Amino acid sequence: MAVKTYNPTTPGRRHMTKKDHSFLTDKEPENSLTYFRHRSKGRDNQGTISSRHRGGGAKRLYRKIDFNRKKDGVKAVVNSIEYDPNRSAYLALIQYEDGEKAYILYPEGLTIGSTVESGLKVEAKIGNTAILRNLPQGTFIHNLELTPQRGGVLVRAAGTAAQLLDKEGEYAIIRLPSKEMRKVHLDCRATVGILGNAEHANISLGNAGRSRHLGRRPHVRGKAMNPVDHPHGGGEGKAGIGMASPKSPWGKPTRGYKTRRGKRPSDRFILKRRGK
């Protein structure tokens, strides 16, 4: 998959890059698997902005994706590979032998006409879903469950994959894309393969308009504000933030300040944390 560049006819066009979607199926999404979902625009259930710089953007239909893959023992054929405006990964539309259709995340190497299957004991082939207990060590996986029968929640972004390193007792040792190593129960399911659209991380938007189409609103630097609006504000000219640690607009430390409360029950399953 290539990245398209353009002649610099305008300042915004100079640094703009786009993905080459020529290999995708040129069709509308499956109507029975789409619906309009209200977007929060960064507001919580009280209507208060809890996530800043969100809002607007192009309208989009939500695609219902099968993260569970519980239709065991029934083979399905890949009908198309499609773009999804709601996520970085592409989708594959599959049709089961009984006629039912579903969307799954598209792994690299899956082609139109390929056959995929899910079950407790299936071949470790790209696009197949099985429990970790029956997958060989070293397998690259995505759409990984954390709790059996709950559906995949980890490794769902474009170009990512986890690796099954080892099995100890009732747990598998998984290396996640963040380099974190953690234990996951062997009865959890995962899909074989590396997710497609790996070039997503190399795309340059090029201008502010494309950012607004994605629903991202302008982000003003704290030190460009007045002291009444931000702890970093004020000063003559281009002033720094001073000797204090960086703060949020409400005076709370940021960059590494932990805000999570209560017990962290999953900590005991983390063998090596992400980061350096």
Burial grade of 207 (CB within 10 A; 0-12, 13-18, 19 or more): middle
Task: Average the pLDDT over 99-126 and give the result.
Answer: 94
DSSP class per residue in 15-29? T-EEE--TTS--SPP
Q: Show the domains of the chain with their CATH numbers.
A: 3-201 (2.40.50.140), 220-235+244-268 (4.10.950.10)
Check whether 26 has a pLDDT greater than 80: no
Q: State the pLDDT at residue 276.
A: 61
176 pLDDT band (50/70/90 cuts)? very high
CA distance 41 to 54: 5
Residue 244, pLDDT above cutoff 90: no
